[in-house]
């Protein structure tokens, strides 16, 4: 899935299937709910290690229960925290995910 930030930059995110282990890499992630009108970004964030970041799991539980999210996508390998935060902010400004507001 490609997400376009408010800046116009395009970010390619890969689907993480059920039962798939998250890799121990820095990256950005989004929680998405599929709707008849298309995917809705419910939450966007970044972290240093997707495999060990407990916030991914805690927030995913909330996203599935409260916001009916059914998909997790990641954009991996950006080691620079400033770049990851800029990407997150760009996506948040474009999609206004309810869990980020």
* 55 φ, ψ (degrees, to nearest 5): -65, -30
Run means of pLDDT, 10 residues per run, the chain, 101 residues: 97 91 92 95 95 84 95 93 98 98 92
Which pLDDT does position 56 carry in this prediction? 80
**pLDDT tens string 66-92:** 999 999 999 997 899 999 999 999 999
R_g of the chain, CA atoms, integer Å: 12
Burial of 3 (0-12, 13-18, 19+ CB in 10 A): buried
Helix or strand or coil: residue 28? strand
Question: What's the predicted TM-score (pTM) here?
Answer: 0.94
């Amino acid at each position: 899935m490609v997400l376009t930030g408010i800046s116009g930059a395009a970010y390619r995110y890969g689907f993480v299937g059920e039962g798939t282990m998250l890799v121990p890499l820095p990256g950005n992630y989004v929680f998405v709910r599929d709707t008849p009108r298309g995917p809705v970004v419910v939450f966007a964030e970044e972290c240093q290690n997707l495999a060990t970041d407990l916030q991914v799991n805690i927030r995913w539980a909330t996203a599935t229960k409260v916001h009916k999210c059914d998909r997790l996508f990641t954009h991996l390998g950006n080691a620079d925290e400033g770049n990851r935060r800029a990407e997150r902010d760009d996506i948040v400004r474009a999609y206004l995910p309810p869990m980020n507001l």
